[in-house]
A and B are shown apart, each in its own frame.
Chain A
Amino acid sequence: MVTEKEIQFFAEKIRRILEEIGKDMIGQKEVVEDTLIAVIAGGNVLLEGVPGVGKTRLVRSMGKALSLPFSRIQFTPDLMPADVTGTNVIEKNANGENVLKFQPGPIFASIVLADEINRATPKTQSALLEAMQEHRVTVAGQSYALEEPFFVLATQNPIEQDGTYPLPEAQLDRFLFLLEVGFPSLDELVDIVNLTQDTMEERAESVVTGEEILAMRATAKEIPVLDEVLRYAMRLVTATHPDLEGAPEVTKKYIRLGASPRAGQALISAAKVRALMEGRFNVSYEDIDTLAYPVLRHRIKPGFAAITEKKTPDMLIREIIASVKK
């Protein structure tokens, strides 16, 4: 049962985290907030943006602010699954016998930065699948649990497509949010340059522990959702399926593949955190509408018509929201 103290604790921690990250991040307020929402909701985040807009910095800064074990994996085409998950190595035991001992890979951290995730081969990318969804890793038939909280913050560059391997749907679906990190404004750019003149090191200080993150997650889960708001969220998800009865025209025309049920779960979990961050004790339609973009944009597959008419997923989501609201 959530108490008032816990609510106050939640609000205080959120304020502190944002404050700390704000020391390293200029602008990108929405991206920072959304990333925090995903972290508290227990989801993985895929950050998409051109090089140099602060994707990696954001993750590093967050890692510092959250005071959690952090590891970074730079994805390259020659990266092997074992490089991510770890592998069994031969060691001599106390008796001098050769034994296989599991050497954990960089995935064994609470915050994993999968940098340029689309540069690795699908085989390596899929090594993350189990870890992202079940928070476990299986190596040579042996399953290893990952320490909670665990989340993957991946980045990818949307423009350089040569030598990249687009993430398969199954993997994309495991990301709670796909956040687009845009280019900063002129003023933000000036501030960024000034900030990084002294040092490139992150200045954020640790303000929250792993246990506290889990407690905040538990608090957020208690936030009530009106049945009609829940139904609205689910209608949004089903409205992305062109083959379902009652699908909006925009879906039928432009979408090839709709969002999975996991999208519905993500939408509600994230909406609860957002509501609490906004100082509300209930989920609103606005929460759902706002979060529909990061939740759905990587889960819908635009069809040929959308590509030829240059309809972005965000444009399609906007139209779907409008049609469902009718």
Chain B
Amino acid sequence: MKQKFRAFRWRMLLENVFLGSLAGLTAGGIGVFVLALIDRILVRRTEATLAWLIGGGLGALAFILIFAIFFPTKGRIARRMDEMGLQERVRTMLALEKDPSPLAELQRQDAGKAILSVKAREMKLRMPKRAPLICAVCLALALVMLLVPYDVFAYRPDLGEENRAFLEELMAELREELLKEELGEELLEELEEILDQLEEDLKSSESQLEQAAKIEEAKKKIEKKLEEALTKDPIGEALQHYELTKPLGEAIVEADEEKVRSAMEELEEAVLENTSLLEELATTIDLALGEVEVPEEDALRTALAGLALDLHENNPDNPDFEEKLNEDMEKATVSMIVALRQQMKTEEVKKKTKKKMDEAKKEALGQKGKQEEEETATAEGGKEESETQTGEGEAPKETGEEKKPAKEEGKKPTQGGNGESKDPNAGGSGTPFEMTEEIYDPYSGTVPYGKVFALYYAEYLAAQERGEVTDEMRAVLDRYFSQLNG
């Protein structure tokens, strides 16, 4: 009898696990679906960890709940056995378990015989017919919702197919240009975050003017990040303050691998000649690093700090002093070279990204067409002013020598893309930013709109977000910027 009960219990446990799993998957699916839906309504990315936590948590909870609710107790097993045609014999037997009367005994005997006639494997699994279907639907819904772009409900001002293509191309190029493995994992993550935000901002921008402002804003952020990563100059300069490490500092500033290697070799030789320099060198490096504000985890700083530590630990009295010194110096040299290479790459990326973003900004402001025409015109005239306009970020420096002839020729307003002459302060249609030769004169106190417009507009938007712009002023400024942008 007990064996029979055990067989039925196992069968029901199996059923319970199956039912619990279905319930768990359903609950998990619903949880993930709701999370994904909320994320899409709030236009934010669904975090995989959170989705797993919620889905898994709800699933586990549902499983435990179902398992506990339908756990095969003696009474439940008896009920299932009775339902196999035993006509409540088993449950009555359990109810009369402690009854010593002859009738109860007869009942138990009768139930015992009846129990032997049923087999556990003949017991049909019981579950709601639609449970697997509901489970599948919930899982499918969750999956579909996860596959739906997170910004599907985001407000999308339609600035035309051309603009969309431009944004897509821009983002693809920026990602390709900026996200180089050599920059290091942490920096890459930060840059990717900025690019994601930029993409989102660009999509939700209501005008190209705003897009330009957002590009400018992102550019500043990226430049700042990359700038922070370039630590060779402050560290190199700090090392130059000390006589002992001056050559090494110069080599680091120049980011010249050979010079770094030779400076390190010289230092090693100097220490070997005069072992009292060992401690001095270590202290000098410590002092120099103490002067600069560079993150602790910076690779160059780590390399130098490591060297200083190794030098502190080394002892000229040790028999393997020379060997260890050489080993430490070599290790530090390699680490510094790796860090410098990374920084060189960062510098390169910085330049390229800046150029790319400047171009994108111009295009967003509608300057590109005009600029191209101007380039054509100047090429025909044998002049090079247009080049200064293309690389506007570098314009004042790079065009320093060329600006005089340009200035002389550019006393009059230059022609716009449409060939018409315009007052730079005038709004209206057509090309909004008229460049004159005067604009390129750094001493004239004037700057081209194209150079500063996005910057100013970004500042304006930021001030607006901070609540520093009154409603009255906002109306005026909105009109001002929109008129400037044509």
List the interface of chain A (C-beta within 8 A of B).
Answer: 1-4, 7, 222-224, 226-229, 279-287
- Shortest CB-to-CB span from A186 to chain B, Å, is 33
From A1, A3, A228, A280, B87 is in contact (CB under 8 Å) with A280
Q: How many A-B residue pairs have CB under 8 A?
A: 49
What does the 1/0 interface line of B111-147 toward A look like (CB < 8 Å)? 1000000000000000000000000000000000000
From B88, B101, B104, B110, A283 is in contact (CB under 8 Å) with B88
Q: Which candidate, B89-97, B154-162, B332-340, is the interface stretch facing chain A?
A: B89-97
Residues of chain B with a CB closer than 8 A to A222's CB: 103
- CA A76 – CA B429 in complex, angstroms? 114
From B91, B101, B110, B111, A2 is in contact (CB under 8 Å) with B101
- Shortest CB-to-CB span from A227 to chain B, Å, is 8
- Shortest CB-to-CB span from B191 to chain A, Å, is 63
- Would A280 and B89 count as touching, CB distance under 8 A? yes
- Would A226 and B95 count as touching, CB distance under 8 A? yes
What does the 1/0 interface line of B227-243 toward A look like (CB < 8 Å)? 00000000000000000
Nearest B residue (CB) for A222: B103
- Would A7 and B106 count as touching, CB distance under 8 A? yes
A224 and B102 in contact, given A280-B110, A282-B107 (Cβ under 8 angstroms) = no
Residues of chain B with a CB closer than 8 A to A286's CB: 87
- Would A2 and B103 count as touching, CB distance under 8 A? yes
- CA A284 – CA B106 in complex, angstroms? 16
Nearest A residue (CB) for B106: A281
Residues of chain A with a CB closer than 8 A to B91's CB: 226, 228
- CA A222 – CA B96 in complex, angstroms? 13
Nearest A residue (CB) for B91: A226
- Would B103 and A1 count as touching, CB distance under 8 A? yes
- Shortest CB-to-CB span from A289 to chain B, Å, is 11
From B102, B107, B110, B111, A3 is in contact (CB under 8 Å) with B102
- Would A1 and B101 count as touching, CB distance under 8 A? yes
From A224, A227, A228, A229, B107 is in contact (CB under 8 Å) with A224
- Would B88 and A229 count as touching, CB distance under 8 A? yes
- Would B95 and A224 count as touching, CB distance under 8 A? yes
- Shortest CB-to-CB span from B113 to chain A, Å, is 11
Residues of chain B with a CB closer than 8 A to A224's CB: 92, 95-96, 103-104, 107
- CA A224 – CA B102 in complex, angstroms? 12
- Would A282 and B106 count as touching, CB distance under 8 A? no
- Would A281 and B110 count as touching, CB distance under 8 A? yes
- CA A150 – CA B77 in complex, angstroms? 44
- CA A3 – CA B104 in complex, angstroms? 10
- Shortest CB-to-CB span from A179 to chain B, Å, is 23
What 9 pairs across the A-B complex have the smallest Cβ distances? Answer: A284-B87, A282-B92, A281-B107, A284-B88, A2-B103, A3-B102, A281-B106, A281-B110, A226-B92
Nearest B residue (CB) for A278: B87
Residues of chain A with a CB closer than 8 A to B89's CB: 280, 282, 284
Residues of chain A with a CB closer than 8 A to B111's CB: 282
Residues of chain A with a CB closer than 8 A to B110's CB: 279-281
- Shortest CB-to-CB span from A314 to chain B, Å, is 23
Residues of chain A with a CB closer than 8 A to B103's CB: 1-2, 7, 222-224, 281
From A1, A4, A279, A285, B88 is in contact (CB under 8 Å) with A285
* From A3, A224, A228, residue with most partner B Cβ within 10 Å: A224
Nearest A residue (CB) for B103: A2
A2 and B92 in contact, given A224-B107, A280-B110, A284-B87 (Cβ under 8 angstroms) = no
Judged by DSSP, the binding face of B is helix
- CA A228 – CA B90 in complex, angstroms? 13
* From A7, A283, A284, residue with most partner B Cβ within 10 Å: A284
- Would A2 and B95 count as touching, CB distance under 8 A? no
- CA A100 – CA B241 in complex, angstroms? 148
- Shortest CB-to-CB span from A131 to chain B, Å, is 33
25 contacts between A and B (CB under 8 A): A1-B101, A1-B102, A1-B103, A2-B102, A3-B102, A222-B103, A224-B95, A224-B103, A226-B91, A226-B92, A227-B95, A229-B88, A279-B110, A280-B87, A280-B89, A280-B110, A281-B107, A282-B88, A282-B89, A284-B87, A284-B88, A284-B89, A285-B87, A285-B88, A286-B87
Beyond A1-B101, A4-B106, A282-B111, 4 additional pairs, beta carbon < 8 A: A2-B101, A4-B102, A224-B103, A226-B88
Residues of chain A with a CB closer than 8 A to B92's CB: 224, 226, 281-282
Nearest B residue (CB) for A275: B87
Nearest B residue (CB) for A8: B106
Nearest A residue (CB) for B110: A281
Nearest B residue (CB) for A225: B92
Nearest A residue (CB) for B108: A281
- CA A274 – CA B95 in complex, angstroms? 20
Nearest A residue (CB) for B93: A282
- Shortest CB-to-CB span from B329 to chain A, Å, is 87
Residues of chain A with a CB closer than 8 A to B87's CB: 280, 282, 284-287
- Shortest CB-to-CB span from A121 to chain B, Å, is 45
- Shortest CB-to-CB span from A279 to chain B, Å, is 8
Residues of chain B with a CB closer than 8 A to A280's CB: 87, 89, 110
- CA A226 – CA B103 in complex, angstroms? 14
- Shortest CB-to-CB span from B194 to chain A, Å, is 61
In chain B, residues 212-260, which have Cβ atoms closer than 8 Å to a Cβ of chain A? none
- Shortest CB-to-CB span from B76 to chain A, Å, is 13
Nearest A residue (CB) for B114: A280
Nearest A residue (CB) for B92: A282
- Shortest CB-to-CB span from A296 to chain B, Å, is 21
- CA A209 – CA B164 in complex, angstroms? 103
- Shortest CB-to-CB span from B27 to chain A, Å, is 26
- CA A248 – CA B398 in complex, angstroms? 92
- CA A148 – CA B107 in complex, angstroms? 30
- CA A224 – CA B106 in complex, angstroms? 12
- Shortest CB-to-CB span from A221 to chain B, Å, is 11
- CA A2 – CA B103 in complex, angstroms? 6
- CA A286 – CA B111 in complex, angstroms? 16
- CA A222 – CA B107 in complex, angstroms? 12
Residues of chain A with a CB closer than 8 A to B88's CB: 226, 229, 282-285
Nearest B residue (CB) for A287: B87
Residues of chain A with a CB closer than 8 A to B101's CB: 1-2
* From B92, B96, B102, B104, residue with most partner A Cβ within 10 Å: B92
- CA A282 – CA B89 in complex, angstroms? 6
- CA A171 – CA B134 in complex, angstroms? 54
What does the 1/0 interface line of B276-301 toward A look like (CB < 8 Å)? 00000000000000000000000000
- Shortest CB-to-CB span from B105 to chain A, Å, is 8
- CA A281 – CA B87 in complex, angstroms? 10
- Shortest CB-to-CB span from A270 to chain B, Å, is 16
Nearest B residue (CB) for A228: B91
Residues of chain A with a CB closer than 8 A to B95's CB: 224, 226-227
- Shortest CB-to-CB span from A5 to chain B, Å, is 9
- CA A226 – CA B92 in complex, angstroms? 6
Residues of chain B with a CB closer than 8 A to A3's CB: 102
Nearest B residue (CB) for A284: B87
- Shortest CB-to-CB span from B208 to chain A, Å, is 65
Nearest A residue (CB) for B95: A226
